[in-house]
Amino acid sequence: MEPGGKPKLVREDAGAYLLQRAWSGNVRELGNVIGKAALMASDVVLTREAFFFLEDTPEYISTDTQTFEVPKGLRLDALRSAVEREAIKCTLAECGGNVSMAAKKLGVECSSFYKKMGHHGLMAKRRAGSVD
């Protein structure tokens, strides 16, 4: 949302496009991209076309077949939260539940990572090495 402006919504096609990309700069990079699109867009709903500037960086497109269902009509803050939760959950699974390794992989301090896990209702299982 722009300061003092109306909240933006992300249309399903735009959300799917964003989720198919690999975000090497973690969730902050995604937030910056969404913020840039929101500032440039004149409409309240961000479509796939609002992210035209990503066309210059095809090397970031993910070839991973893992998908994440994007609920229709999400507000930007809800989309960021959903993507952040999924990124944390998947990274923890990739790292066998090792929180410090997952935090490092996502470029986040461990203390912040634990807070984010709590915020999203994700708890690391100490012995099983998986995430709820």
Reported as half-sphere exposure (CB side, CA atoms, 13 A), residue 34 has a value of: 28
Beta carbons of 32 and 80 less than 8 angstroms apart: no
Beta carbons of 128 and 97 less than 8 angstroms apart: yes
Strands 74-75 and 9-10: antiparallel
Mean pLDDT per block of 10 residues along the chain (132 residues) reads 62 85 72 83 86 62 49 75 83 82 88 89 57 50
pLDDT at position 127 is: 40
Long-range contacts of 93-101 (CB under 8 A, 24+ apart): 93/130, 93/131, 96/129, 97/124, 97/125, 97/128, 97/129, 97/130, 97/131, 98/129, 99/124
